[in-house]
Chains A and B, each alone.
Chain A
Amino acid sequence: MSSSFDFLSQVKNRETTTLLPWVMAIMVYLSCLAATGSLLLDSGFDDWASSLQGRITVQVTGEDRDAIIAESLEIQQVLRTTPGIVSVRILSDGEISDLLEPWLGAGNITDDLPIPIMIDLGTAEDVYINLDALEINIKAISDNVYLDDHAQWLSHFYNLAYTVEYTALGILVMILLASVCIVIFGTKSSMSEHKSTIEIMHLMGAHDQMIAKTYQNRFMYYGFKGGIIGLVFSFLTVFGLLILIQNLAAGLVEMPTLPYLKLASLLLFPVLFALLCMLTARITVMRVLGRMV
């Protein structure tokens, strides 16, 4: 019914849509950054949270080093006999120093620092441990003992994680909406520029689909071209940022595992934007032509 004929292929003058591939490049660039940020945070949050789940930390403090060591050993015995606790390990001084070093700096941990004893507990997944009862038990040994299952921190952590992820998703949706608006504007602007040509095509019996096809193909090309450019630049940016973060945050924050498979899905962004441009242009042209007799 609608044969293909690009009636604008010979237009040589600078059109209003000339800059559209570059606008699309910027949109794809920003979308990829938002999506990459979301994916990396998701992966990082999962890594960090899973390293804390099923772990309880017991901290024994005090002025007298020998006394807190003795109390720690006694607490260790109590913990080993508690149902649901599968591992109990007192961290060595070296391990505690390693944990503190990124915050205090190398060589600043001296003997006169009141460093607590840390006991790391592993718990069974399917057994409920009454932490209040456990705390009362070990408080009987020492008043200066603190038990932390990281639940409160993890709760805040998850809230933050979801907020950041949904914000990134929201940004992505806004970029897509902005892209749709830009394509509608570009299509209408181009149709206005070629109004007389479109009228002649229309009066000579061109179907709406034929005119729409010219526009949808053109805008699909713009979307894809811009998409490829944006994708390349976003990968370069993310790669550069990761190297910077790795160098700056070594030891302070654990680098998340890169979700390569999920990141590979970003390769579809140029195709997604090309389809978005194509569909938007087609619907816009069909709606504008629909107002003609």
Chain B
Amino acid sequence: MVEFRNVSMSYNKGFDVLKDISFKLEPGSMHFLTGPSGAGKTSLLRLMYLANRPSRGEIIMFGRDVAKAARDDLPKLRRRIGVVFQDFRLLDHMSAVDNVALPLRIAGGSGPQIVEHVEELLSWVGLDDRMLANPSTLSGGEKQRVAIARAVIRRPDILLADEPTGNVDPEMSERLMYLFVELNKLGTTIVIATHDNNLVEKIGAPRLHLEGGKLLHLEGTKKTVDLNADIDEGTS
């Protein structure tokens, strides 16, 4: 599903922020992207959500080299990718409902079904009473949940999340991770960039570890925690 072949990337023809990266993620897999600040995690994600093109190498997604895809083909490919940005990037002039509905409207959807669907998801992430609130009035955790809801609303083929649980309490963090795991079970390929080693260990998904723009290792671990059980326990 996602394959990087000797990919390097630089901004404005400067130094390489990613150096000769190669890896392959199987369809429906879930991975953590780890590494210290400045290691290149966000740059790697930017290549995956097609915000930048690499300076060298091939990126195979959806069965084609997206690094060389025609510009006109990119919007269609981007609609198959959900992204949770580190800084949320919610639209301040729109309510939570409208922010979450954005990917559906961009894809040409309209009407009450959209709102119903969006409200259901917002309700699931615990924002029943904040649906009509504008992002500027939401707390950091609430914004993060809206951002996650926006990323998953179209049930994307690939979900990329940059520190998705950084601003939420542990209980909500587990709830959101449960959402990711469930999406993964439905076949969505997920890559989560995080500094949270506890989360990585708890979920036990394979790890892509970056340092200084280089992929040091792709290590696989077995899932050690059953999130369903955790959530059941937490609610009982």
Residues of chain A having any CB pair with chain B under 8 Å: 3, 5, 7-8, 10-13, 196-197, 199-207, 210, 290, 293
Contacts and interface: CB of A to CB of B under 8 A. Distances in A.
A293 B52 contact: yes
Contacts of B103: 204-205
22 contacts: A5-B106, A7-B91, A7-B102, A10-B94, A13-B93, A196-B89, A197-B93, A199-B89, A200-B89, A200-B102, A203-B49, A203-B51, A203-B83, A204-B79, A204-B102, A204-B103, A204-B106, A205-B78, A206-B106, A207-B75, A293-B52, A293-B74
Given A3-B108, A5-B105, A293-B52, A205 B93 contact: no
Contacts of A200: 89, 91, 102
Interface string B48-74: 011111000000000000000001001
B218 to A, nearest CB: 26
A13 B91 CA distance: 13
- Of A10, A196, A204, chain B has the most CB atoms within 10 Å of the CB of A204
Interface in B145-185: none
Contacts of B51: 203, 293
Contacts of A206: 75, 106
Contacts of A8: 93
A12 B134 CA distance: 12
A201 B106 contact: yes
Contacts of A205: 75-79, 103, 106-107
Contacts of B53: 293
Interface string B88-107: 01010110001000110111
Contacts of B83: 203
* Those 7 A-B pairs whose CB atoms lie nearest each other, nearest first: A205-B79, A3-B108, A205-B78, A205-B75, A11-B93, A206-B106, A5-B105
A13 B92 CA distance: 11
A201 B89 CA distance: 11
B79 to A, nearest CB: 4
A8 B105 CA distance: 13
Q: Among the interface residues B53, B75, B91, which one has the most CB atoms of the partner chain A within 10 A?
A: B75
B98 A10 contact: yes
Contacts of B94: 10
**Candidate in A5, A201, A205 with the most chain B CB atoms within 10 angstroms:** A205
Most central of A12, A13, A199, A207 by chain B CB within 10 Å = A207
A201 B107 CA distance: 11
Contacts of B79: 204-205
B78 A204 contact: yes
Given A199-B89, A204-B102, A205-B76, 9 more contacts: A5-B106, A200-B89, A201-B106, A202-B78, A205-B77, A205-B107, A293-B52, A293-B71, A293-B74
A138 to B, nearest CB: 82
Contact of A197 (B74, B78, B91, B108): B91
A45 B213 CA distance: 77
Contacts of A207: 75
A7 B52 CA distance: 23
Interface string B8-46: 000000000000000000000000000000000000000
Nearest to A210: B106
B72 to A, nearest CB: 8
A190 B108 CA distance: 24
Given A197-B91, A293-B50, A203 B102 contact: no
Nearest to B80: A205
Nearest to B82: A204
B146 to A, nearest CB: 13
A178 B113 CA distance: 46
Nearest to B77: A205
Contacts of B107: 3, 205
Nearest to A9: B93
A200 B100 CA distance: 12
B78 A203 contact: yes
Considering residues B93, B94, B106, B108, which has the most beta carbons from chain A within 10 angstroms of its beta carbon? B106
A177 to B, nearest CB: 31
Contacts of B106: 5, 201, 204-206, 210
Contacts of A10: 93-94, 98
A122 to B, nearest CB: 72
A210 B131 CA distance: 26
A186 B113 CA distance: 36
B136 to A, nearest CB: 11
A196 B89 CA distance: 8
Contacts of B102: 7, 200-201, 204
A196 B107 CA distance: 19
